[in-house]
Amino acid sequence: MSKSDHPQSSSRRAALKTLGAAGAAATLPLWARYTHAQTAAPIRIGFQKHATGIGAAYGRWYDRTSQAAVAKINGEGGINGRMIELVTEDDGTDPKRGAEVIEKFANQSKCDIAFGTLFSHVVIGSAPRAGELKLPYFVVSEGHHVASGMLNRWTLQPGITDVKSQVQAMAPFITDTLGKKVTMIYPDYGFGYDHRDNLVPAVQAAGGEIVAQIAIPPTETSFTKYFPQIPRETEVIYHVMVGPAVLTFVKEMGEFFGPSRPEIFGFIDSLEAVDLASPGLDFLEGTYFWEGMPRYLQADAPAYVTAYRDAVGIDANGASTSDPKDVSTAAHMFGCWETLHIIKAGMEAAGYSSTADRQALVEAVEAMTEMPAGAAHPQGDKLFNGRTHQVFGPQYISKVESGKLNVTHVAPIEDTLYPDEVDYTTQSF
């Protein structure tokens, strides 16, 4: 049976039409808007938030983006006539605590699903418990652990692309534009290993080579001791760091190299939630970054992008409209917005009415394929692979120019695709 013949496809198309008509529905009186709902009880979505720990900056903005998406969806009539209620728990950016939070969502808070996790080690620590509890677990993580087959049928990543696809799309730009001999610096845990394991073959396939790999603990606070490990033959430094000391990392790299630096290509993770105007970042001028979604409002941004940014509350520089010093995690947090809209479409396609319909929800999302750019998908067009539970989408390469990030290249979806490594649809629930 092809995806287009899947019995869920027609109901999903109907659900997407419903999404398009949601603005009109929102103008109806409340009694008319919800007469078709089987219950007035809210749909409870357990939001696994990195409120503390090394993921706290992301957690704050994931929360803000999720709250904005919920307000939009509820304002348009909710899901099947029911409002969404976010049930938030701090997982401390800790795998053990993450599993405990999943159990609390299922057994105490009576959540319909779980959602929102970013850091890969927390996903890996939490997903097995979600599978045991048969709790749909929608992660916004980027890790390759979902598409690799490491997890289970209850865990999906439909709103944000994974590291393997990102790296595969970036490698040709690096070797064609910046240099062939690459030293990579990455965090010493699951997310970093995804970069390590996928950059090497991607760079080799693009005609380059990795001359050194430097792993740094994500809790490290000083980095100068690592830079002498960079071989002199290095033409490009590839960096992706996370945690509260990312600003220190970038500053110390600049102090170490001075004006004679190699070319530099970074994943914006190294500077998420960090103001590019911060003292010590001048040396980044002329360097390149991957971005999942541009931090700075681009001149050609469509109306649905500006609408998304306005709803979340970020200005043209990607900072909070209420505090210009509070810089967002723009390259990642859009995944929360998109995932919540996918959950809505999936629940409507499945006719979701209670936790008894959890399996039907997973099957409805597995049946999804094309996700057009628009109000629900402001990052761009998406292609979802229901077999691997992973979405694919465009990737942005930006250059630091006059202290801002300007998009210079957009890698299309076809550059991000790779052969399936798992088929979750063959696994039992």
Q: What pLDDT score was predicted for residue 279? A: 87
Tens-digit pLDDT profile for residues 273-293: 999 998 888 889 999 999 999
Q: What pLDDT score was predicted for residue 97? A: 98
Q: What pLDDT score was predicted for residue 244? A: 75
Q: What pLDDT score was predicted for residue 259? A: 85
Q: Name the residue with tokens 């109806």.
A: 28
Q: What pLDDT score was predicted for residue 247? A: 87
301 Cβ neighbours under 8 A, 6+ residues apart: 294
Q: What pLDDT score was predicted for residue 191? A: 86
Phi first, then psi: what are they for 399, rounded to 5°? -115, 140
Q: What pLDDT score was predicted for residue 245? A: 85
Alpha-carbon distances, residue 334 vs 61, 100, 180, 354, 410 (angstroms): 10, 26, 32, 27, 17
Q: Which two tokens stand for residue 342?
A: 């996918």
The end-to-end CA distance of the chain, in Å, is 20
What CA–CA distance (Å, rounded) separates 184 from 188?
A: 12
Q: Which two tokens stand for residue 331?
A: 């390259």
Q: What pLDDT score was predicted for residue 23? A: 39
- Residues in the chain predicted with pLDDT less than 50, given as ranges, are 1-37
CATH says 3-161+331-393 is which class? alpha beta
What CA–CA distance (Å, rounded) separates 185 from 153?
A: 33
Q: Does residue 390 contact residue 159 with C-beta atoms inside 8 Å? A: no
Strands 288-291 and 319-320: unpaired
Q: Does residue 321 contact residue 315 with C-beta atoms inside 8 Å? A: yes
Map out the domains of the chain as residue ranges.
Answer: 3-161+331-393, 163-291+398-408
Tens-digit pLDDT profile for residues 380-420: 999 999 999 999 999 999 999 999 999 999 999 999 999 99
Q: What pLDDT score was predicted for residue 270? A: 87
| CA quadruple 300, 392, 167, 151: dihedral, nearest 10 | 150
Mean pLDDT of the chain: 91
Q: Which two tokens stand for residue 219?
A: 């809790």
Fold designation for 163-291+398-408: Rossmann fold (3.40.50)
Tens-digit pLDDT profile for residues 27-37: 444 434 444 44
CA 295 to chain centre: 14
